[in-house]
Homo-oligomer: A and B are copies of this chain.
Amino acid sequence: MKNVGINGYGTIGKRVADAVSCQDDMQIVGVTKRTPDFEAYLAVEKGFPLYISAPEREGLFEEAGIKVTGTIDDLYSKIDVMVDCTPGGIGAKNKEVYDDMGVKGIFQGGEKHEQIGKSFNSFSNYKDNLGADFVRVVSCNTTGLCRTLKPIDDLCGIKKVRAVMVRRGADPGQIKSGPINAIVPNPPTVPSHHGPDVQTVMYDLDITTIALLVPTTLMHQHNLMVELETPPALDDVIDTLEATPRVLLVEAEKGLGSTAEIMEYARDLGRPRSDLNEIAVWKESLNIKDGELFYMQAIHQESDVVPENVDCIRAMLEMEDDPAKSIEKTNKNMGIN
């Protein structure tokens, strides 16, 4: 049984804590918070030992009546790996501390690949991260791209990918982000950073991406144009994606014609927080024309990287050498088909 700490019990941290807790080969021994908000309160309610990440703020937790187990400095000696879920840019600074404390660290997609050194996607490069000390799980968008591009590349080879990524403006609980009524090229330059980010785990892929923000909170949406080496029958692509774990083919004609309807479906599935960890691919959108595969997919930005974090723990702690076995185990324990 391996011991896991979560630094930053927020959007991703609280989900990784739950996902780790339902595995049988790892457990949460502590989570950290900087602010005594409702998430800190709920962490204690759930039975997670709570540590303060900014020791000078201990008084705030006392005032809020939230019982803490200690400060983050007390946590390092108890863990085999820290999953850093702090806001983008903070993780790279924390890495130095973890290094000093002799603790392995997993970081999220908000950190720069160059600052962490290694990046991870369960399907693309699990084995390259066996035993590694510091690894970054790529972002929700990059994870979404890898989930579908890797099996397609394995099936028939990819010559070139073009992707236009329509991103949600804010998460459902965020009230300070926009836009409310605008389409925002983000960045306004082409290509966006997402293509190079995919290349941190699918090293030789030729990919160009364009990204924008729109006024919605539920999911990102991707439009993929994939030139193929040896175009297969469309049914072979469909069969491949249907057989790929963490990929879900959905049909507009069955009432799943938008990100809103897909998340309504996820609510009916009864998973924690109504999450959808899988990438949803619109079956009707799949088409091969002049040797090029087209498709559209939707990414639940808050949760798709969560099972990847669990797999990453297994790779780094050398608990499992075979990615397929880790993926299967993680999925089974999380209730992902």
- Give A residues with C-beta under 8 Å from B: 162, 164, 166, 168, 179, 181-185, 187-191, 208, 210, 212, 214-219, 221, 223, 225, 252, 257-261, 282, 284-287, 289, 292, 294-296, 298
Chain B residues lying within 8 Å of A259, measured Cβ to Cβ, are 182-184
Smallest CB gap from A210: residue in B: B223
Given contacts A179-B260, A258-B183, A260-B182, contact A282 B188 (CB under 8 A): yes
- Are B210 and A296 in contact, CB atoms less than 8 angstroms apart? yes
| Interface residue from B183, B187, B189, B223 paired with A219 (Cβ < 8 Å) | B183
Closest beta carbon of chain B to A269's beta carbon, Å: 18
Smallest CB gap from A292: residue in B: B208
Chain B residues lying within 8 Å of A284, measured Cβ to Cβ, are 187-189
Chain B residues lying within 8 Å of A221, measured Cβ to Cβ, are 183, 185, 212
Expressed in whole angstroms, the Cα–Cα distance for A258 and B185 within the complex equals 6
Expressed in whole angstroms, the Cα–Cα distance for A188 and B284 within the complex equals 6
Expressed in whole angstroms, the Cα–Cα distance for A285 and B294 within the complex equals 23
Given contacts A296-B188, A296-B190, contact A225 B162 (CB under 8 A): yes
Expressed in whole angstroms, the Cα–Cα distance for A162 and B210 within the complex equals 12
Expressed in whole angstroms, the Cα–Cα distance for A252 and B49 within the complex equals 46
- Are B214 and A183 in contact, CB atoms less than 8 angstroms apart? yes
Smallest CB gap from A297: residue in B: B185
Expressed in whole angstroms, the Cα–Cα distance for A217 and B215 within the complex equals 10
Expressed in whole angstroms, the Cα–Cα distance for A216 and B216 within the complex equals 9
Chain B residues lying within 8 Å of A257, measured Cβ to Cβ, are 184-185, 188
Given contacts A190-B295, A287-B190, contact A218 B181 (CB under 8 A): yes
Chain B residues lying within 8 Å of A179, measured Cβ to Cβ, are 216, 258, 260
Expressed in whole angstroms, the Cα–Cα distance for A183 and B298 within the complex equals 9
Closest beta carbon of chain B to A213's beta carbon, Å: 8
| Interface residue from B190, B219, B285, B286 paired with A285 (Cβ < 8 Å) | B190
Given contacts A182-B259, A216-B214, A257-B185, contact A164 B287 (CB under 8 A): no
Residue in A162, A215, A286, A295 with the greatest tally of chain B CB atoms within 10 Å = A215
11 contacts between A and B (CB under 8 A): A162-B162, A179-B260, A182-B218, A182-B258, A184-B258, A185-B257, A188-B285, A188-B296, A189-B287, A190-B296, A215-B216
- Are A294 and B208 in contact, CB atoms less than 8 angstroms apart? yes
Chain B residues lying within 8 Å of A298, measured Cβ to Cβ, are 183
Given contacts A164-B164, A216-B215, contact A181 B285 (CB under 8 A): no
Chain B residues lying within 8 Å of A289, measured Cβ to Cβ, are 190-191, 208
